[in-house]
Structure 1
Amino acid sequence: MINEKVEIMVKVHMMKAYEGDFIWLSYGDSEKEYHLLIDGGIKECRERYADVIRSISAKGESIEAIILTHIDCDHIAGACEGIAKIDAEVLQRTVKKIFFNTSEKIYKEILISKNSGEYGVKEGIEFWEILKEKGISNRIVERIVAGETINLADGALLKVISPGEKQLEKLLDKWETYEKKHMPVGYSSNLDQVKQNLTDLMRVQSGTDSSVNNASSIAFLFEYQDIKGAFLGDSKPSVCMEGLKKFDIKGVYPLDFVKISHHGSISNTNIKLLKKLSTVNYLLSTNGHEKKVPSKVVIAKLLRDCIEENKSEITLYCNYDWWESQYHNKYFTQRDRQMYIDTKVLKVSLLGEEGTKVKDGMILYGK
């Protein structure tokens, strides 16, 4: 009897999370899958977050890791409130590890603040209480730094490239001072950029993200079989570059996909990192709320790298049609369309429930 070939598969679900991130990654074969939940979006995502965990549990499969990249509300609020809705028995049976750079002591003695704002301090404190109540607080890993390799089931690997020790120290030891001096970090306006051609934006300086939160964001490489990708959270490119050195990655590191940092904010993507983490497939999670992100400068830099590295085309995979819904299809100028859209050098793809094949063994979904 000839055994049928078992197909290896990686599925990335770019869940609709409004202006936030909520990514469900599953990997394995047709007989058994393993799962990662990366962030959980804003609080309105709670029901969907809970439903995903219940569906995984109902199949008798495991969540290898819940990864909360950092404490901004648009990344953790949906996860906190979603977990609160799930029976403790389901969580205990299903969730193996929770990666979250913090500690209960830090939250209760240092991070407590009257200003919860957009930072997620309040949610972070509540999260610890929820985990205790559900009987899974012992599964949290409180310190994840660049250079660590996390081994998952069936040979999958996470290689952590952010944060470094210095960035984590600033979050855990200097947060209180920072928060008193700074308002929550916002986005610069994108409207003036939209009026310009992509070609003219390729050399615009990116600036630097000064947020302590974002500098502490967990970013990692995911590797399974012959599929490799990067999930950059809201990380800073300079921190990721340093993190790559810890894996002795000095030259170009080819990837099948890169999840763009900070929803396409101008301060979180630079040409050096694009050339290092080389790909033609970019994932972008945002609804384009208030026309702030994605920055058109970021897309121009993706194209600049495409041209300079002699790539024939690049594809931007999105979970919302922000270029139409937020900009009434005027995000790209006529010149942009003639040079990049019509020639298919730049493809902007809205992901759907039916899935889009990126390569053999890998499918992207938008839900």
Structure 2
Amino acid sequence: MLQKTHKISFHYYDTGGGDAIHIRFLGEDSNWHNILIDGGYAREYKNAFAQLIKEILAADEIVDYWIISHIDRDHIGSVLGFLQDKTIKDKSKAVKGFIFNSTSEPIQIPREKISVRDGITLREYIKKSYFQTETSINTETNPIEVFGLKMTILSPTPEKQKKAEDLWTEEERTMKIGRKASQSDHAKTIAELKDLPFHQDKDEVNGSSIATLVEFGDITALLLADSHPSDIEDSLSALRYSSTNPIPLSFMQLSHHGSKANTSIELLEMVKTENFVVTGNGIHNQHPDKEALVRLLEYGKKNEIKIKIHYSCDTKELRDLFKIDAKIETCYEFETTYKEIGPENELFLFEEITDNI
């Protein structure tokens, strides 16, 4: 059911550890508008965006933009489900435009390179359609404005966008298989994790992520996809924010589902908010890393603000993250929610997903 009680809402869908976000807002033209971001794996399309898009169309609305942050399967996969959905006849009327970084190179991809192939499929579909589509997005792109909602691009840099494009032309790119359970840090204590040195993510595809600062009225949010924290720090610095002048936010979505390599101390010191969203489910790739959450608890708090961590999934793995640490929530004064409504103003709506549509 499409909400019509709040001028803006951010809906996070549980797609098994991927990103699937629906931003809904009442625009300056007094009409409702919808922006989708990513969508999770292809198999999750029927459990998340398929029903949503049909509801949007039934209400005589459209998806103004569908942002594909980067080509990893847990972000782009659901778009392929949309392209293959025969129940939506006129897709160009359903989605007005895509915001997506692609390459024009005509390349051949081995069968195992699913995420790149998905990117090619989307690129070719866009070329054959009549979308108002942006296909070259980086930090030099002007802010994207949609009827009162403003999206400032914080990542990727032009250099990292180019590197990601070059990956499309490599013949011998290996398939990502993710991390094994043995690589998880969930069984470690806070004492073991809190003083570990930070090492930034080096993955070039993650570095190509489209990350945005979303502004609408008094609402501000950081949606970071799988971006590198140093790029976000540089972009916030260019907007004149710093550790002594942190940007006030309604919420911040941790990058890369809460990976320890994507949330730095420096970045946390540049933001001021009580609300943090984590899209990892504690199972897929073992995200979120407990080390990242400990860093958040250590450096994310400002003054008397009580930190709230909002998980878009609800699993035993997430609920047991701090089980080994006695009286953890008392020591750090933080709260957690799992697929529930967050703050009282319902800024976050973590929606339950049905198995059948």
Q: TM (normalized to structure 2)?
A: 0.86
Structure 2 equivalent of residue 20 of structure 1? 18
Structure 1 equivalent of residue 347 of structure 2? 362
1:331 to 321, 324, 341: 321
Identity of aligned residues (%): 24
Q: What is the distance in 1 between the residues matched to 2:221 and 2:53?
A: 23
- The answer as to 2:144 corresponding to 1:144 is no
Offset of residue 165 of structure 1: 0.7
Q: What is the distance in 2 between the residues matched to 1:166 and 1:237?
A: 15
Offset of residue 16 of structure 1: 1.4
Offset of residue 41 of structure 1: 0.5
Structure 1 equivalent of residue 267 of structure 2? 273
Over 3 Å counting, the alpha-carbon distance change for 1:349 and 1:191 in structure 2 is farther
Structure 2 equivalent of residue 55 of structure 1? 55
Is the 8 Å Cα contact of residues 10 and 361 (structure 1) preserved in structure 2?
no
Q: What is the distance in 2 between the residues matched to 1:185 and 1:320?
A: 22
- The answer as to 2:295 corresponding to 1:293 is no
Is the 8 Å Cα contact of residues 66 and 97 (structure 2) preserved in structure 1?
yes
Aligned with 1:206: secondary structure?
coil
Aligned with 1:102: secondary structure?
coil
Over 3 Å counting, the alpha-carbon distance change for 1:115 and 1:346 in structure 2 is farther
Is the 8 Å Cα contact of residues 152 and 214 (structure 2) preserved in structure 1?
yes
Deviates more, 1:259-268 or 1:147-156: 147-156
Is the 8 Å Cα contact of residues 297 and 332 (structure 2) preserved in structure 1?
no
Q: What is the distance in 2 between the residues matched to 1:272 and 1:69?
A: 23
Deviates more, 1:196-205 or 1:52-61: 196-205
Aligned with 1:46: secondary structure?
helix
Is the 8 Å Cα contact of residues 98 and 133 (structure 2) preserved in structure 1?
yes
Match runs of 1:29-44 below 5 Å = 32-44=31-43
Offset of residue 39 of structure 1: 0.0
Structure 2 equivalent of residue 113 of structure 1? 109
Is the 8 Å Cα contact of residues 9 and 361 (structure 1) preserved in structure 2?
no
1:122 to 113, 117, 120: 117
Q: Which has the higher helix share?
A: 1
Structure 2 equivalent of residue 243 of structure 1? 235
Over 3 Å counting, the alpha-carbon distance change for 1:199 and 1:102 in structure 2 is same
Structure 2 equivalent of residue 304 of structure 1? 298
Offset of residue 40 of structure 1: 1.2
Structure 2 equivalent of residue 71 of structure 1? 71
Is the 8 Å Cα contact of residues 209 and 267 (structure 1) preserved in structure 2?
yes
Structure 2 equivalent of residue 168 of structure 1? 161
Aligned with 1:205: secondary structure?
coil
Over 3 Å counting, the alpha-carbon distance change for 1:311 and 1:247 in structure 2 is same
How many residues in Structure 1 have an aligned counterpart in Structure 2?
345
Structure 2 equivalent of residue 3 of structure 1? none
Match runs of 1:222-261 below 5 Å = 222-250=214-242, 251-261=245-255
Over 3 Å counting, the alpha-carbon distance change for 1:115 and 1:241 in structure 2 is farther
Structure 1: 5+ residue stretches without partners: 1-5
Once the two structures are superposed, what CA deviation does each residue of 1:257-297 show, in whole Å capped at 9, x if it has no partner?
01111111111111111111222111111222257111000
Is the 8 Å Cα contact of residues 306 and 313 (structure 1) preserved in structure 2?
no
Task: Name the Cα RMSD after superposition.
Answer: 2.7
Once the two structures are superposed, what CA deviation does each residue of 1:66-120 show, in whole Å capped at 9, x if it has no partner?
00000001111111222331566643334222100113x23x23xx3215446x1
Amino acid of the structure 2 residue aligned with 1:52:
L
2:147 to 146, 154, 159: 154
Is the 8 Å Cα contact of residues 180 and 285 (structure 2) preserved in structure 1?
no
Runs of 4+ with >6 A deviation: none
